[in-house]
């Protein structure tokens, strides 16, 4: 670590204020049961590394200074090998890596084996949106969990490989199309944390973020109850707007008139569209419904048939709400 490094980091730290994410110099805050053991091993390896690094650099610098070439002076003679010494510095690293391996594996087994009573949430990754499916069928774009209770995520992907990563929990698991992958954790501290996609997945990979909200004891159930009833508690337009955001439509359809992967939904209702097969169509309730359930039945000219079907993933009432939202005047659509 050069002096400049430290200066750089120091400036970085000053600019950000102390502990940008309430963590330590190296690590984000510890918010899961496994975080502590991961950090312990991290610090253990760090200590070993710093020791060997300093050893190497000090020996190097001392030799350079002490044995610096002076005019007309030859190297002193010393043996050009020493089997005992060389075996020593082969065996010592062997022992050290065996120890590291052991702790790493032990810690990993804890991370890989969920307790039997874990609360299960289904997760779906899709370009570039997470959706979290709670046991009662409610779907949210953020991950809400109770504190101090093991949670198991059963994950699948609608398109390419993604990877669910929560630094504060020290967990990461790829989400692979065509199979289910699982990961578990137990949050230890109520609060709000970041969830990233860690496997590159295209244009908006870096915006495929979500929040993890860890609820204090007793509050998770209340939240779930309230959130699940949004079709009843909200107006259809508001519910539709929420669904439009939560279910990933927004990822491909803008509300400001600009085309993304799909056509804009600004003023879509009643619009006359040119279709890829040469015909035209006027957008009405039935056409929107068809677009959602069988998106490739009729494709808008100038776009790829990449919209996934929502057959079985959206209930009738939800489709109705979305249609209401898309019918609403532009003012209602634009408001976030």
Partner 1 sequence: MTDATTVLTGDGQPAGPGQRDSYLNHGKGVLSWLFTLDHKRIGIMYLAVILASFFLGGVFAMFIRTELLTPGQTIMTADTYNKMFTLHGAVMIFLFIIPGIPATLGNFVLPLMLGAKDVALPRLNLASFWLWLIGASVAVASIIIGAVDTGWTFYTPYSTTTGTAVVAMTLGAFILGFSSIFTGLNFIVTIHKMRPEGMTWFRMPLFLWGIYSTAIIQVLATPVLGITLLLLIAERTLGVGIFDPALGGDPVLYQHFFWFYSHPAVYIMILPAMAIMSEVISVFSGKHIFGYRFIAWSSIAIALLSFLVWGHHMFTSGQSSLTNMIFSALTFSVAIPSAVKVFNWLATMYKGSIRLAAPMLYALSFLFLFAIGGLTGLFLGSLSTDIHLHDTYFVVAHFHYVMFGGTVIAFLAGIHYWWPKIFGRMYSERWAQVSALLIFVGFNLTFFTQFVMGSHGMPRRYYNYLERFTAYHQASTVGSFILMIGFLIMAGYLLHSLVRGERAPANPWGGATLEWETASPPPYFNFEHEMQAGDPYDLDALSWDPSIKGYVRRDPSSVLAAPRGAD
Residues that bind Cu ion (CB under 5 A): 162, 197, 201, 205, 208
By a kind-dependent CB cut-off of 5 to 8 A, residue 69 interacts, out of ligand HEC, Cu ion, partner 1, none, with: partner 1
114 part of the interface to ligand HEC, by CB under 6 A? no
**Contact residues for 218 (Cβ-Cβ < 8 A; gap 6+):** none
Rank residues 94 and 330 by Cβ distance to partner 1 and give the closer one.
94
Q: How many residues bind ligand HEC (CB under 6 A)?
A: 27
Which does residue 59 touch among ligand HEC, partner 1, Cu ion, none (CB within 5 to 8 A, set by kind)?
partner 1
In the list ligand HEC, Cu ion, partner 1, none, the entry touching 206 (Cβ below 5 to 8 angstroms by class) is: partner 1
Structure tokens at 291: 């677009």
Q: Output the smallest distance, CB 331 to partner 1, in A.
A: 27
Q: Of the two residues 32 and 163, which places its CB atom closer to Cu ion in the complex?
A: 163
- Please report, for residues 13, 38, 191, 308, the alpha-carbon distance to residue 44 in angstroms, rounded to integers and kept in the order given: 24, 10, 28, 47
Comparing CA positions, the residue from 241, 210, 265 lying closest to residue 335 is: 241
Tell me how far, at minimum, the Cβ of 159 lies from Cu ion, in Å: 10
- Could you give the C-alpha distances from 267 to 77, 263, 326, 328, 335, in angstroms and in order? 87, 11, 8, 9, 14
Of the candidate spans 25-33, 74-82, 210-218, 296-304, the one that interacts with ligand HEC by CB under 6 A turns out to be 296-304
Task: Tell me which residue of 191, 197, 214, 242 sits closest to 144, measured CA to CA.
Answer: 214
268 binds, among ligand HEC, Cu ion, partner 1, none (CB under 5 to 8 A by kind): ligand HEC
Residue 283 binds ligand HEC, judged by CB under 6 A: yes
Phi/psi of residue 106, nearest 5 degrees: -60, -50
Closest to partner 1 by CB, 24 or 235? 24
**How many CB atoms are closer than 10 A to CB 36?**
13
Does 273 interact with ligand HEC (rule: CB under 6 A)? yes
Which one of residues 7, 92, 306, 330 is an interface residue with ligand HEC (CB under 6 A)? 306
Q: Widest CA span of the chain, in angstroms?
A: 94
Between residues 108 and 287, which has the closer beta carbon with respect to partner 1? 108
Give CA–CA dist 41/205, Å, rounded: 30
**Which residue, 313, 189, 326, 331, is CA-closest to 264?**
326
**Residue 322 binds ligand HEC, judged by CB under 6 A:** yes
The partner in contact with residue 330, picked from Cu ion, partner 1, ligand HEC, none with C-beta cut-offs of 5 to 8 angstroms by kind, is none
Give the tokens for residue 87.
């075996």
- Shortest Cβ distance from residue 116 to partner 1 (Å)? 17
Give residues 225-254 in contact with ligand HEC (rule: CB under 6 A). 247-249, 251-253
Burial 189-226 (b: 16+ CB within 10 A, else e): ebeebebbbbbebeeebeebebebbbbeeeebeeebee
Residue 249's closest CA among 138, 129, 145?
A: 129
Query: Cα separation of 262 and 300, whole Å?
Result: 9
CB nearer to Cu ion: pick between 197 and 323: 197
Min dist. Cβ of residue 274 to ligand HEC (A): 9
Q: For residues 266 and 5, give the distance between their C-alpha atoms in angstroms, rounded to a whole number.
A: 50
Q: Of the ranges 44-52, 112-120, 170-178, 300-308, which one interacts with ligand HEC (CB under 6 A)?
A: 300-308
Determine the interface stretch with ligand HEC among 2-10, 108-116, 225-233, 287-295 (rule: CB under 6 A): 287-295
Binding site for ligand HEC (CB under 6 A): 127, 247-249, 251-253, 261-263, 268, 273, 283, 288, 291-292, 295-296, 299-300, 303-307, 310, 322
């Amino acid at each position: 670590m050069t002096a400049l490094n430290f200066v750089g980091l120091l400036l970085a730290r000053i600019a950000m204020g102390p502990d940008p994410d309430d963590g330590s110099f190296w690590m984000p805050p510890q918010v899961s049961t496994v975080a502590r053991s991961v950090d312990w091993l991290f610090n253990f390896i760090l200590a070993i590394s710093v020791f060997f690094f300093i050893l190497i650099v000090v020996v190097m610098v001392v030799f350079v200074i002490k044995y610096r070439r002076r005019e007309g002076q030859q190297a002193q003679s010393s043996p050009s090998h020493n089997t005992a010494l060389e075996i020593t510095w082969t065996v010592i690293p062997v022992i050290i890596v065996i120890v590291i391996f052991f702790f790493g594996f032990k810690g990993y087994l804890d991370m890989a084996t969920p307790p039997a009573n874990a609360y299960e949430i289904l997760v779906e990754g899709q370009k570039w949106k997470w959706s979290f499916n709670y046991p009662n069928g409610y779907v949210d774009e953020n991950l809400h969990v109770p504190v101090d209770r093991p949670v198991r995520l059963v994950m699948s992907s609608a398109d390419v490989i993604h990877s669910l990563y929560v630094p504060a929990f020290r967990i990461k698991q790829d989400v692979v199309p065509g199979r289910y992958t699982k990961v578990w954790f137990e949050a230890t501290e109520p609060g709000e944390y970041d969830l990233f996609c860690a496997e590159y997945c295209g244009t908006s990979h870096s915006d495929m973020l979500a929040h993890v909200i860890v609820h204090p004891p007793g509050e998770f159930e209340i939240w779930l109850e309230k959130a699940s009833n949004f079709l009843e508690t909200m107006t259809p337009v508001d519910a539709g707007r929420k669904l439009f955001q939560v279910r990933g439509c927004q990822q491909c359809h803008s509300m400001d008139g600009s085309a993304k992967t799909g056509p804009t939904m600004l003023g879509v209702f009643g619009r006359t569209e040119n279709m890829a097969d040469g015909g035209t169509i006027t957008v009405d309730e039935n056409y929107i419904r068809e677009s959602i359930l069988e998106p490739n039945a009729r494709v808008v000219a100038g776009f790829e048939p990449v919209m996934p079907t929502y057959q079985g993933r959206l209930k009738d009432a939800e489709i109705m709400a979305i249609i209401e939202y898309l019918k609403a005047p532009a003012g209602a659509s634009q408001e976030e």
